[in-house]
Amino acid sequence: MAEKQSAIGYIGTYTNGESKGIYSFQLDRVHQKLTILDAAAHAGKPTYLTISDNNRYLYSVVQEDGNGGAAAYSIGSNGALAPINKQLLEGAAPCHISVDSSNQQLVTANYHKGTVESYLIEKDSGAIQPAVSVVEQNGSGPHERQEKPHVHFSGFTPDEKYVIVVDLGSDTVKTYQSNNGKLVEASCFNTKPGAGPRHIVFHPNGKFAYVMTELSSEVIVLAYNQQNGSFHEIQTIATIPADFTENNQGSAIHISADGRFIYAGNRGHNSIALFAVDEPEGKLSFVERYSTEGDWPRDFCLDPTENYMVASNQNSSSLTLFSRNLDTGKLELLQKDVEVPNPVCVKFLQD
């Protein structure tokens, strides 16, 4: 099937500056160029987004009148967003949101409150129902930012048998069973103290997972037991050069669809590190780092063809476009300084 000439994407942002909410953009694959289209939805602090597998719905974290939660939007044929509903809880907004492949369950991670929330979704409308489960985490770590739990990720295992919760504050990766949206802890993996785990991605084969640490700037390679949801460590590898001594905070981590390459973001070093995956063992070997041509790369995303990558630089309010070699995983700069206010999360509609 011929590659589409363009793709539509969305950007979640911080709205404590000039941003109005969620922005949409277009990737022109013919001219290899990004264009910001519009503020697709006005919302408070919609920093992280997720899109249903069928491209019908976009879900966002949201802050409104001192309450935080999740908002649902329908996606029109031209990529326009129309609000469906929102569910709010008292206190700060979540920082991460995931939806399962059947668009039946939504989970959010709340950094400030140290909680994970689970919601069910109405089948016909895509609307979010009130929270079924709110689970408070516990514990702390040795770093000054680990005075209490700070949940930074919640998402589903590849077989969607479990929900995974990554807690920067307590140095834990927890596995939960979900029974009609109600979360029950099944397993807990502890990183080394002070690592500050932030995000996790699974290998397509379901046997391995890769955790990005924010505080120690490393990728932890884990073997995953699909039967009981437990993890054990295989390898830890740095994402920044050994001689880089300035402030760095690990950000996003993503894996190519073929499972051959891992990409890890560095805020401070302002780079994306590329690693090659050894398929039989899951271990990583460092390949190269690429400047994001901006300040504080919060996230990045491969387009549906995986021939392109878009990175978001939060503090310089810019996007950067790279081309990507499918065989080597390597990136090449195409465009920088694409202006959008305080971008965080980047997501594409599927082709």
d(CA 158, CA 307): 23
pLDDT tens digits for 222-273?
999 999 999 999 999 999 999 999 999 999 999 999 999 999 999 999 999 9
Helix (H) or strand (E) holding 79: none
List of domains in the chain: 239-350 (2.130.10.10)
| Residue among 62, 63, 90, 58 nearest 74 (CA) | 58
pLDDT for res 145? 98
Q: What pLDDT is attached to residue 36?
A: 96
pLDDT tens for residues 124-161? 999 999 999 999 999 999 999 999 999 999 999 999 99
Taken in order 69, 266, 320, 339, the sign of the CA dihedral is: positive
Structure tokens at 131: 């929270």
What pLDDT is attached to residue 2? 62
Please, are residues 63 and 79 in contact by the beta-carbon 8 Å criterion?
no
What pLDDT score was predicted for residue 297? 98
**Residues in the chain with pLDDT values less than 70:** 1-2
In whole angstroms, give the CA distance from residue 271 to residue 289: 6
For residue 279, what pLDDT is reported? 85
| Distance of alpha carbon 27 from alpha carbon 308, whole angstroms | 9
Identify whether the C-beta of residue 98 lies closer than 8 Å to the C-beta of residue 155: yes
